[in-house]
Structure 1
Amino acid sequence: MGRPGSPPQAEENRCPLWGLPEELLLLICSYLDARALGRLGQTCRRLCRFTSRDVLWRRLARSCLNAGFSALGTDLVEGIPVKERVKVSQNWRRGRCQRNLLLKWKRNLMPWMQLDSEYLYLSQAEDIQAYWLRPNHTGLQRCPQAVFSGHQEDVCRFVLANGHVVSGGGDGNIVLHKLNSSFSFKFLAHEQEVNCVDCQGGIVVSGSRDRTAKVWSLSPGRAGQCLHTIQTEDRVWSIAISPLSSSFVTGTACCRHTSPLRIWDLESGQLVTCLGTEFHRGAGVLDVFYETPSTLLSCGYDTYIRYWDLRTSTRECVKKWEEPHDSALYCIRSNGNHMIASGSSYYGVVRLWDKRQNRCLQSFSLSSPPVSSPVYCLRFSTTHLYATLASALHALDFTT
């Protein structure tokens, strides 16, 4: 004990731990779990500052459900202390959140959504609206900052790429809008509605009800030129370009005798491989998501989330998770590490999954009987999850 009236800093400096080299103290703290590390930080102000260092929490964060780290340990969220992200990740695992109804509209729609660091982009009928997210995602400004128009019928899907919004609509058109500019470009892409689009670099891929997938150029002088037309023999519901921009995957309706998941070469338009061997008729793939160039997720009418690793096998998925209530899965999203979020076809059910477990981790019903709506799209950050239903945009805030 120090003498009466001795300053707190002097008390802290007498702690035996401070006689150790900093490298050794870091090594000792690296063996502590989150609870022990937090309690050590409560002993004095100097240890509080020391145990709040990102380097001590990084190892713990990599094993957390959703702390902003990839499977390879890359920090995907800079500027937020890792310790705080570990705390919030515990809320994700335990399902602790505040539910908010951000927007509501009168007509039943099939809205799609994209998210970046500052804005939430939401399709509502023929338009795409950009809503400003308040700092730390504490809310949504109700009045849109920008509205992107150009379709004559509802927008089906859209993506953000290279400072542009690229959308496909029920009118068969693809529309390209430049963010922060009035520039737009539209071209007729398919004979029927464009169900899905993706874009990387100067290439757009699209899929349609007309049973074709097409590859388009956006390079100067060739914008809107079709490079390949692929006869898929089935309606295309989902599409995604590989992170290496060498191939793309299509998810189809599975109404014929072809695999609903096929990978195509982006340069030649030729079939590379089919994924899986046994699918029930009508078990169409409604959403696909690349995590890495060799791993992807798929979901759809067969009620399963499937995880594919192209390095091991294209005949069988490496793991699958079944929707507990036997509902079709309309959308999936992954953080590239341990967490998957899925949206079901009834009562706006959002589920959280841990890849290391076989069963659903948490479940949230965003619409209640007698009202029932699919979750058409969902996106999440390290703190919030956003989900679009037929007539509303919901948010789950896990910072509370």
Structure 2
Amino acid sequence: MGRPGSPPPEAETRCPLWALPEELLLLICSYLDARALGRLGQTCRRFCRFTSRDVLWRRLARSCLNAGFSAHGADLVAGVPVKERVKVSQNWRHGRCQRIPLLRWKCNLMPWMQLDGGYLYLSQAEDILMYWLHCSGTSFKRSPQRVFSGHQEDVCRFVLANGYVVSGGGDGAIAVHKLNGSFSFKFLGHEQEVNCVDCQGGIVVSGSRDRTAKIWTLSPGRAGQCLHTVQTEDRVWSTAISPLSSSFVTGTACCGHSSPLRIWDFGSGQLVTCLGTDFHRGAGVLDVFYETPFTLLSCGYDTYIRYWDLRTSTRECVKKWEEPHDSALYCIRSDGNHMVASGSSYYGVVRLWDKRQTRCLQSFSLSSPISSPVYCLRFSTTHLYATLASALYALDFTTS
């Protein structure tokens, strides 16, 4: 017996469409939009199985927000049904989510965060805590799985790369911990606090309030050796290594006359180019993010998200979006395709942007009426996590 109102099994086999070759049927279905494809799948069980194939949803997913596909069509989260990702993507676009406070603490901090598979890493004062996330993505054990220590003052920022946790602290030190082992070491990197670090291919780049950026090696026998010191002539707030590992970008406080965004060569430590010419004094860059070797995003005190394409121009960004409430932007992240998420300096406001549009798509206030910046945010295809001065929040977009 089938469900009430559903066609009997023999009716499915009598459908004239099933007389067509599968390749032709796939071609016909490729012209359907998401709604029509979903309705076709409701006609019978055989079409339900047929229309659930990834190959039919992949074309639709590439134009969706945060469906796990890069701008070039690469599947970044293979193994998750594409149809389900397209459905969740509609929740991102329309702002349908559940807001969940995952963790609170008593004193105000400036926490940084990273996601790695099923684990969330969170800086808390001098330590970095590793939590195992429940499969729902909205809960974890209150006691951390592991604690990475070593700094004498607060951790400013940290990254996960090559099996290591690399962090910079207010004590001017850089700490390196093996993720799966007890190996760790620390070395004095700068005369003042290390505001930012990045790591790739056994190379660490650090930026400091002491107006320098430094390149370090993690090679065996030379770990912690400084390869180059770059005089930035300004406080360094952010840095990112190019995916090609040939250069890195620094974002500075913009207190001088030079551009706050500059790209430096790894091999020589020399300046390659400056980005932009229209920054006003004090328009410091607080976060930078490479999407590809040629495209990157930046944000900061001047309230703009800027999108740079190095193949087009280094003098002007190709697109920019202004924070509507004139707030500094502390952090940004991209899905590598159409979506950008940003964290503002007031009231814990997280905004979602569609690069194909000029205005903000959705916004969420996580700390009203008490004001707090969003110091860091990270997201998967189903959840967004944001750290505030005294809390960690999750936005769950799997809600119906």
Global fold match (TM > 0.5): yes
Residues of 2 paired with 1:120 and 1:150: CA distance? 19
Name 1:249's counterpart in structure 2: 249
1:142 Cα deviation after fit: 1.8
User: Equivalent residue of 2:394, what SS?
Assistant: strand
Aligned twin of 1:376 = 375
Tell me what 1:10 maps to: 10
Q: Structure 2 length normalisation: TM-score?
A: 0.98
Query: In structure 2, what is the equivalent of residue 111 of structure 1?
Result: 111
Give per-residue Cα distances to partners, 1:273-320, cap 9 Å, x unaligned. Answer: 000012110000000000000000000000000000000000000000
SS at 2:10 equivalent: helix
Taking the aligned partners of 1:54 and 1:284, their CA distance within structure 2 comes to 43
Match of 1:385 in 2: 384
CA distance in 1, matches of 2:312, 2:60: 29
What is the CA–CA distance in structure 2 between the aligned matches of 1:283 and 1:22, rounded to whole Å?
57
After superposition, give the CA deviation of every residue in 1:117-164 in whole Å (9 maximum; x if it has no partner).
110000000000001011242422221100000000000000000111
Show the counterpart of 2:311. Answer: 311
Q: In structure 2, what is the Cα distance between the partners aligned to 1:339 and 1:185?
A: 37
Is the 2:100–2:138 contact (alpha carbons within 8 Å) kept by the matching residues of 1? no
Spell out the pairing of 1:146-165 with structure 2 (5 A cutoff): 146-165=146-165
Q: Could you tell me which residue of structure 1 aligns to residue 279 of structure 2?
A: 279
Structure 1: gaps of 5 or more residues: 1-5
Map 1:179-218 to 2 at 5 A.
179-218=179-218
* Counterpart in the other structure of 2:57: 57
3-state SS in 2 of match to 1:292:
coil
The Cα shift of 1:7 comes to 8.9
Write the distance in 2 (CA, Å) between the matches of 1:192 and 1:311. Answer: 35
Q: What are the residue-to-residue correspondences of 1:224-239 with 2, within 5 Å?
A: 224-239=224-239
Q: Distance in 2 between matches of 1:156 and 1:39?
A: 50
Find runs of 4+ consecutive structure 1 residues off by over 4 angstroms: none
Distance in 2 separating the partners of 1:76 and 1:124? 30
> What is the match of residue 355 of structure 2?
355
CA distance in structure 1 between the partners assigned to 2:106 and 2:13 by the alignment: 64
Tell me, yes or no, if structure 1 residue 320 matches structure 2 residue 320.
Answer: yes
Mapped partners of 2:279, 2:270: distance in 1: 22
1:397 and 1:142 map into 2 onto residues whose CA distance is 19
How far the C-alpha of 1:98 sits from its partner, in A, is 0.4
Residue of structure 2 in register with 1:398 after alignment: 397
For 1:170 and 1:254, the matched residues in 2 are separated by: 21
- The one-letter code sitting in structure 2 at the alignment partner of 1:60 is L
Letter of the 2:156 counterpart = C
**What CA deviation, in whole Å up to 9, does each residue of 1:231-250 have, x standing for no partner?**
00000000000000000000
Amino acid at match of 1:24: L
**SS of structure 2 residue aligned to 1:57:** helix
Letter in 1 for 2:75: D
User: 3-state SS of the aligned residue for 2:66?
Assistant: coil
Q: Which amino acid aligns with 1:59?
A: R
Deviation at 1:325, TM superposition (A): 0.1
Task: Find the residue that maps to 2:243 and give its secondary structure.
Answer: coil
Task: Provide the identity percentage.
Answer: 88
Q: How many Å separate the matches in 2 of 1:299 and 1:357?
A: 18
Deviation per CA, 1:252-271: give whole Å up to 9, x if none.
Answer: 00001111000000111000
Structure 1 residues 154, 32: CA separation in 2 closer, same or farther (over 3 Å shift)?
same
Equivalent residue pairs, number: 394
Deviations 1:184-240 (A, max 9, x none): 110000000000000001100000000000000110111110000010000000000
Distance 2:270 2:73 in 1: 35
Which residue of 1 is the match for residue 336 of structure 2?
336
Matched position secondary structure for 2:392: strand
For residues 254 and 7 of structure 2, the distance between their equivalents in structure 1, rounded to whole angstroms, comes to: 74
Match runs of 1:255-274 below 5 Å: 255-274=255-274
Q: Does 1:30 align with 2:30?
A: yes
AA of the residue aligned to 1:376: Y
Q: Is the 8 Å Cα contact of residues 7 and 44 (structure 2) preserved in structure 1?
A: no
Distance across 2 between alignment mates of 1:159 and 1:217: 15
5 Å matches for 1:29-108? 29-108=29-108
C-alpha distance in 2, partners of 1:79/1:310? Answer: 33
